[in-house]
Amino acid sequence: MSTEALAVPRPGVARRSAFTPITVALAWRNLWRSRRRTWLTAGGVGFSIFIMVFAWSMQVGTFSLMIDNATSLISGHLQIQHRSFADDPGLRNTVRDASSLLAELELHPEIEAVALRAQAFALVSGDERTFGAQVMGVDPIRERRLSSLPDRIVSGRYLATGREAIIGATLAVNLAVGVGDEVVVLGSGKDGGIAAMAIEIVGVFDSGIIDLDRSLLQVELRAFQEAFDLTDEGHVLALRLTDFERTDALKVALQQRLGEGLSVRSWSELMPELEQMVGLKQAGTEIFFVLLALLVTFSVFNTFAMTVFERSREFGMLLAVGMRPGQIMLQLQLEAALMCLLGVALGVGMSVLVVSLMARTGIPLGDVGELLRQYHMPDRLYPSLAHGVLVAAPVLMFVSIQLAAAIPTLRVRHMQPATELRAAA
């Protein structure tokens, strides 16, 4: 017998696809046998997706604000240092030929601002008191573009040029000095000689960070380089990016460009405690999402358990006329998929509309906003639409609903047509 003869179907036997336009239309019609139940279940799915997307978008907006506020004070999004500076922040571990590297970085399209800093630990003396402090040399013009510290001056003004300094509020109290007073900085130069400066306090800052306010003294960069025997070099090139989410990608690109002599460090390495806090909060939110998906799963399970029970006579009749249990189960899974898609459409549409509106207007924080303004933070929260969750949440719900619907439909495999028809009679 030829293979062509074997391929010809026997009379009365039709080969059908599991899903045809007719089966899809039938599944859609079956959903509306109980409109209230369908709308409640689809609405629950949609609301769950909305909660997931909105909560994650709020979290992304909050984290962005938190990271931006933390990095804008001193660290920046990236820092370029000598490869040994992180482990040994000594005066000798400098970035050499800093001017040319600074000029090159300023031309980079993804870098919003860059500033060169030099720093050392030294003794700072007022009229009667002496304390150890971190002395930081900065370029006042570039520092204003990168750091928010110049905006946190509570007395006097920020640096201009010459032998001027700004001092932390706590350190100023400890030294019993204020605006207009002169302090003496005494340290060790790069070549081992004595580094000394007599500088005038022109401003007092209050950053809100105790360790910074009691230890930092900023001076003009050229004065620092002259006193500590530095030439065209510094210890840190701090970078602020146009998009901080590009930090890791730009870090890799810059590291390849600079080679092994210098190290590029991101804000997550400079402030590991901030990264840990963000990771912990994200893990908590993910657990909340899983619990929410479980609640919706139980709701769908209950819906389809009732569906199988109510339509037992229908299924018994279909089995009696020759339909296989697997075909009925696929039909029910298709109904679950269509109901999920209805819920996804509701949830995604509501999420995009609400989050986009809130991203423009912001969410006022009321009395808390007054407290935030004292720390130079916005008094409104601006959610940022989380496109990843906008995809992940519907996928999570779809998988959960298909599994929830599959469990009650397993009963169809054990149905006996005669038994189901007699029970429904």
pLDDT given at position 8: 40
**Bigger pLDDT: 59 vs 5:** 59
pLDDT at 13: 41
**More confident position, 387 or 46:** 46
Evaluate if residue 65 carries a pLDDT over 70.
yes
Q: Is the pLDDT of residue 350 over 70?
A: yes
Which whole number is the average pLDDT over 382-392? Answer: 83
Tens digits of residue pLDDT in 128-148? 889 999 999 999 999 999 998
pLDDT band at 379 (very low <50, low <70, confident <90, very high): low
- Give pLDDT tens digits for 403-415: 888 888 777 777 7
Average pLDDT over residues 243-255: 89
**Per-residue pLDDT at 274:** 80
More confident residue, 221 or 291: 221
- pLDDT of 201 reads 94
Question: Tell me, what's the pLDDT at 67?
Answer: 83
pLDDT at 173 over 90: yes
Q: Which pLDDT belongs to residue 219?
A: 94
Is the pLDDT assigned to residue 290 strictly greater than 80? yes
The per-residue pLDDT for 282 is 81
Under the banding of pLDDT at 50, 70 and 90, the label for residue 372 is low
Q: How far apart are CA 52 and CA 293, in angstroms?
A: 10
**What average pLDDT does range 283-298 have in this prediction?**
83
Lowest mean pLDDT among 14-28, 100-114, 196-210: 14-28
Per-residue pLDDT reduced to its tens digit, 177-217: 999 999 999 998 888 788 899 999 999 999 888 889 999 99
**pLDDT-wise least confident of 69-73, 128-132, 370-374:** 370-374
Which pTM does this prediction carry? 0.71
Please, which pLDDT band fits residue 371 given cuts at 50, 70 and 90?
low
Q: What average pLDDT score do residues 253-279 get?
A: 87
Q: State what percent of residues in the chain have pLDDT above 90.
A: 32
Residue 5 — very low, low, confident or very high, per pLDDT cuts 50/70/90?
very low
Q: What is the reported pLDDT for 377?
A: 59
Look at residue 286 in the predicted model and tell me its pLDDT: 82
Higher pLDDT, 76 or 303: 76
Average pLDDT over residues 313-339: 81
Q: What is the pLDDT of residue 1?
A: 38
For the chain, the average pLDDT equals 83
pLDDT for res 32 = 83
Q: Is residue 364 over pLDDT 80? A: no
Banded pLDDT at 15 (limits 50, 70, 90)? very low
The CA–CA distances, whole Å, from 185 to 126, 128, 385 equal 9, 14, 50
